Structure 1
Amino acid sequence: MSSALLPKPQMRGLLASRLRKHLIAVSLMSLGIILGFKFGVSEPRKRAYAEFYKNYDATKEFEAMRDAGIFQSAPPKKK
């Protein structure tokens, strides 16, 4: 009588069916994390670097650092 109320447990293929479900779930979650990192971190960082280097003058920065006395091998210009 009690066997009619409870379904039989799955004995064969239980691991394979659970692994298949978990593999799909993990794949979708990792894809979401990858896309979130790309559009949440990488792309804003690329835009920030592009904006910074749009008006960056390396020669002017070097001259400012040299005049400040940062470099030992490049003494400041005499005025």
Structure 2
Amino acid sequence: MAFGVLMKPQMCDLPARCLRFHIVGALVISLGVAALHKFAVAEPRKKACADFYRNYDSMTDFEEIRKAGIIQRAK
């Protein structure tokens, strides 16, 4: 009986190729989500805080709280 030459199965390198593909995909997705969070959440929040504290006067706020009776021991 003569047997033909059989091709080697591709199972030896299959886990490494799949792992490489999934690592690259996870890296791309995580960088995309990080960029989306930076520009959709962090930058508007930073701008809103800067706008709030640009015109914020703590003394008038303190006087309003004291007049309302929340702080009773302040002079």
What interval of TM-score do these two structures reach, taking the shorter chain for normalisation? 0.7 to 0.9
Q: CA-to-partner distance for each residue in 1:23-74, whole Å, 9 max, x for gaps?
A: 0000000000000000000000000000001100001100110000011322
Which residue in the other structure is 2:5 paired with?
none
Q: What does 1:10-29 align with in structure 2 at a 5 Å threshold?
A: 10-29=10-29
Q: Which runs of 4+ in 1 moved over 3 A?
A: none
Where does the alignment leave 5 or more consecutive residues of structure 1 unmatched? 1-7
Q: In 1, Cα distance between the equivalents of 2:9 and 2:31?
A: 33
Q: What does 1:60-71 align with in structure 2 at a 5 Å threshold?
A: 60-71=60-71
Where does the alignment leave 5 or more consecutive residues of structure 2 unmatched? 1-7
**Size of the alignment, in residue pairs?**
69
Give the TM-score, by structure 2 length. Answer: 0.84
Identity percentage of aligned residues = 50
Structure 1 vs Structure 2 CA RMSD: 1.7
Q: In 2, Cα distance between the equivalents of 1:15 and 1:70?
A: 65
Give the TM-score, by structure 1 length. Answer: 0.80
